Amino acid sequence: MLIDPLGGFADLNRRHVRFINHPADRIREDYLRILRFYRFTTFYGDPDLGFDPDALDAIARNVDGLVQLSRERIGSEMMKLLSAPNPSPAIASMRMTGVLGATLPAADDRALGPLIQFEAEAGLSADPIRRLAVLGGDDVADRLRLSKAQTARLQILRDNIGSMTGLGEIAFRHGLDAAWSVTVLRSAIFETDVPNNASVMIADAANAKFPITATDLMPGLKGAALGAALRRLEQVWIASDFTMTASDLMTHLRQDPENR
């Protein structure tokens, strides 16, 4: 015999996520339940039901309690939520209840939905760092207590979204994943299509090997001049779409007026 004094079995059948009894009381017991409500609804709730209105009302009235939570707890919960297949409805609701502003001041979720669509079309898995990059916000790494590796990756994505750096160069310098992330981020934010040749361009560049080493330029060049020449040749090689051979580059070097 199933004893269900709180009516939870019916909620399970409907995939209806809600607080037990009075939502405000449950929230005040632990304000992290605000973020967990959004995560549980996103992962387990029926999308057609939306978010429980009583819960949303209680959340909006108690959002100030989030300041009592450690940044580690908030960061852990946000990363879990942003790992969901589609956290866009939850983030939009968080904006309306004030939760997004309390956890990520200055964040803007307008491009999150388009990003998720571009991710799906490109066959990319859910990535919380990529989604943080599209949300923006102030002092994200500190507010969410991101690791050094996560912080570095987020910075690479944010630095390259609005830059003029080509996808090939991003793939060469930062790898396949970073290049694809920047590709879909740019498309979502600037409302453009993913380039038709993106897949081939990124794959080729990520596997490209610069054909010149410092030894090739010695003993004619050394010290700072050697490093500068290598950097110039690398840029020339990248600009050629990684097609110039070592012989081509050495010829270019001999003709470079900066080496005369």
pLDDT band (50, 70, 90) for residue 256: confident
Average pLDDT over residues 43-61: 96
Determine whether domain 1-103 maps to CATH 1.10.3090.10. yes
Give the pair of three-digit tokens for residue 80: 């879990």
Pairwise CA distance, residues 207 & 172, whole Å: 7
Provide the phi-psi class of 57: left if phi over 0, else alpha when psi is between -120 and 50, else beta.
alpha
Opening angle at CA 257, ends 254 and 258, nearest 5: 100
Residue-level pLDDT at 227: 93
Hey, CA dihedral for 94, 96, 102, 105, is it positive or negative?
positive
Report how many helices (DSSP H) and strands (DSSP E) the chain contains, helices first: 16, 0
Question: What proportion of the chain, given as a percentage, has pLDDT over 90?
Answer: 88
Domain limits, the chain: 1-103, 106-207, 209-260
Instruction: Residue 15: count other Cβ atoms within 10 Å of its Cβ.
Output: 13
| pLDDT tens, residue by residue, 109-121 | 999 999 999 999 9
Pairwise CA distance, residues 109 & 91, whole Å: 7
The pTM (predicted TM-score) of the whole model is: 0.92
Residue-level pLDDT at 260: 57
Average pLDDT over residues 169-198: 98
Residue-level pLDDT at 259: 63
| pLDDT tens, residue by residue, 145-174 | 999 999 999 999 999 999 999 999 999 999
69: helix, coil or strand? coil
